[in-house]
Structure 1
Amino acid sequence: MRINRLDLTRYGKFTDKHIDFGPVDPGRPDLHIIYGPNEAGKSTTLSAFLDLLFGIESRSRYDFLHPYSTMRIGAALDIGGVVRELVRIKKPQNSLLGPGDQPMGEHLILGELGGVERDVYCAMFSLDDDTLEKGGESILASKGDLGQLLFSASTGLAALSQTLVELRSQADGVFKLRARSSEIGDLKSRLSDLKERKEQIDTLASHYRQMVETRERSLAHYDEAMADRTRTQLRLDEIKSLLTALPRLTELRDIRDSLAELQDVPE
């Protein structure tokens, strides 16, 4: 949306005044600066533009020359490449008028603004000393609709409020003062249990050294016992072999005795 012309027909100190911003000059910045001394009407002009977009406020302070019933602001707005001649008057309903003073739907402007409301638009695009100070404090304090809506609108995060609620819920689940249970509380309890178990199984360095020496002696005794077992097993196998051969030895002796008796027999 571009402002081609702003008409201060009957508003504040102005009567039938117009500000023409001229056509767009391709290839050059489309930036206009309105300047003037104090009380020249710069703030009044800004307020008139905001009232054109969002409606003249119910208790407007710009009726000191023109009564509410006669206040009138006009403009030529380039909306989506189409120039619209619009007028705003002071009425609770149907205050946005088109050609022939026919009522126009508010969606024509609000749709172009992406649904941004007046206070957010002021905080983002109509900054003055008060707005900068209050909006900055609100944002830094991370509270209030102004700071939240400003951040949401400027970043396109339409669901910022819901996201913040979910994050707060998650944070409360991690830790919440005086809550009966929380993730941090559960972890602290588990840590305490682990410390107690550690103390139960912990040992002094001197005791550990004694246990290592005992283990080494036990291993040496084990190796010695295994060697004795091996020697005993070999001796046992030898004895078994002898016992197996003993009956044959008796038989062999009998055969030798029989042969000895036959020595005198002629061949």
Structure 2
Amino acid sequence: MKLERMQISGFGRLNGLDVELPGQVTVLYGPNEAGKSTLLGFVRAMLFGIPTRAAAAERYEPLRGGAHGGVLTILGDDGTRWMIERYAQPPEGRNLPGTRGDRLRITRSDEQGGVREASQEEMQRELLGGMSKAMFKQLFAVSLTELQQVGALQSEELSRYLFHAGIGGGAAVLRGEKRLVQDMDKLYRPRGRTQEIAQLLQAVERLEREAEAAKALLPRFNDVLEELERLAAQLAEAEAARAARSRETARLQRAVGSRADWLQREALRAELAA
């Protein structure tokens, strides 16, 4: 990417400054406290946001008036032109609809003349190759304190970037790696309904827990099954005994029903014998 223009409304000791950078290389020079570091801090603030008041050294409150912020124009490698307009507070009479409480407005224009608004995330992804604020700060250190920090070359993200740059591909390889990490997050981190694999894994874990609980009940199940078989055998014996007694009862009922006839027959036999 290439910086084309910096329009500073108010940032540190700079205010009402409009700097165009037409050449391929621009050298900023001047005595101490002239504002060289402030200019680089302005670029960082436009790209990643104006720091809060807790980071006063990096916030660069306007010392000479003007709305805190400005406009940064950048030409992308693909020919698109990005205009980033950012203010810590909306300047008087200006309404900037954006993604951060009316403090940010990003427009993106292509070579065909089409213009549309873009988000902070889209700008970082397409223009900066997904580079984070921490990594940008390490690669483009502004102050002596930042340059002297030993940790400036020890972050994992910066190490990967320098490695990929050394083997060729640089930012493109880093973007691919970030994309893979994002895709893995979508697949495996349980954060909402879109994480289908995560939900399936949770379902499998739940079923495994239920299976383990069922195994603990297996000995009791076997005991109950044996008891059920013993009772079934007793029931079969009882059914057979009941059937035999039913037949005997029916026979006795027939005998009772024929007793009167039997008594009469015996009386007749006695009479005939006499």
User: What is the TM-score when the length of structure 2 is the normalising length?
Assistant: 0.46
Rg (Cα) greater in structure: 1
